[in-house]
Amino acid sequence: MKIRVNQLIEGSILADDVLSATNKTLILKNTVVTNHIIDVLNAFLINEVEIQDEQVNGQEVKAEGEAKIHIDRKEMGVKIEQSFYKQYISAVNSYKQLYIGWQSGSQMDISKVRHIILPLIEELLTNNLEETFKLYHYCNKEDYLFHHSVSVALLSAFLAKKLGYKQGDINQISITGLLCDSGMAKVDVSITAKNITLTEKEYRGIKQHPIYSYQLLKNVMSIKEGVKIGVLQHHERIDGSGYPLGVKGAQLHPYSKIVALADTYQAMVSVRPYRSKQSPFKVLEQIIQDDFGRFDLSIVTELKKGLLKFSSGTKVRLSNGLSAEIVFIDEQYPTRPMIKILGKDEIISLKNRTELFIEEII
């Protein structure tokens, strides 16, 4: 039966494996619950688990449960206390507090912004590059905006690094990504909290948020002008189809071009109040095909290369529900690799199976 973690008692037995936000096995099935395991569940923000109806007692069985969590932690290759995920969640929560302050009229404190995002950027680029394309797993509907802002900052930093920017500019670009939606704090809450289709008037209100973001930053002297322009232009497009000013091409600041793609990609892959999360492969395919000419091609190329670099050997779930492993990627068809169905000897080339697509990285 399913039970909330805050109602768990020692001696209960897990009926299913417990998975982290990135679908890694966190705790194995049949593990006996101890206070230590409850602490682990809370650290990973697990709300509910399946437990068996029977309960057991005795030191010998509890020790078995402890061993199972110890083995799994070793396989994950990271100490729970220092996990990237925990640092990420801390950044999301800290950003949320800043955002609530802006809603109440607080001024932009750029030192707090730097304190939130720069250590996380350093951790990502130094030790956890593979996490860049798993960020969408972490998002939830309730705090979407705050997850989105941190994720855009991280992906923007990743892209900036791959494009050859120096660390000082990478930091500024990541701050641009984090703050590009800060102006949403000045949009009517009745609009931002809505989980159904906006009216035309409400959408016009939403489209003012880049201007509000710029206004929050315009008097901050300790950040580059590129950050301010970047937040103002992050919804502009190279072909002039964006907003709020409809500028294009050479009028766009380099920072804004990077953040524009990061913002769009993260919005498309992440769970939203009105829809489920989407496959990075499916989203990349849409960006390459449907949004051609709207984004800087060199940045799209780095996004594609980054996603594919971490994809060989990756386990995925297909649109038909089957699980598979990527075995080969054809550069001409990067979103339609050759895959092997797990548990079978069947190998499929997705470029020949247009009715199938990769639904999710697992």
For 127-138, write each residue's pLDDT tens digit.
888 889 889 888
Q: Cα separation of 341 and 318, whole Å?
A: 9
Superfamily of domain 83-308, CATH level 4: Hypothetical protein af1432 (1.10.3210.10)
Among 3-17, 120-134, 297-311, which stretch is predicted with the lowest mean pLDDT? 3-17
* Cis peptide bond prior to 119, omega within 30° of 0: no
Give pLDDT, residue 53: 63
Say if CB 87 and CB 81 are below 8 A apart. no
What percentage of the chain reaches a pLDDT higher than 70? 89
* Element of type H or E holding 98: helix 84-103
- pTM for this predicted structure: 0.76
Read off the pLDDT of residues 173-223 as tens digits, 9 standing for 90 and up: 999 999 999 999 999 988 888 877 788 999 999 999 999 999 999 999 999
pLDDT for 74: 39
3-state helix, strand, coil in the chain (%, to 5): 55, 10, 35
Percent of the chain with pLDDT over 90: 49
Specify the higher pLDDT residue, 254 or 11.
254
pLDDT at residue 36 tops 80 = no
d(Cα 187, Cα 341) in Å, to the nearest integer? 47
Candidates 186, 181, 129, 128; CA nearest to 150 is: 181
Quote the CA–CA distance of 160 and 173 in Å, as a whole number. Answer: 7
Query: Is residue 69 within 8 Å of residue 27, measured between CB atoms?
Result: yes
Residue 327 has pLDDT above 70, yes or no: yes
Q: Does the structure show a pLDDT above 70 at 359?
A: yes
Nearest to 183 by CA among 112, 103, 263: 103
149: pLDDT strictly greater than 80:
yes
Tokens for 74, please give them.
């070793």
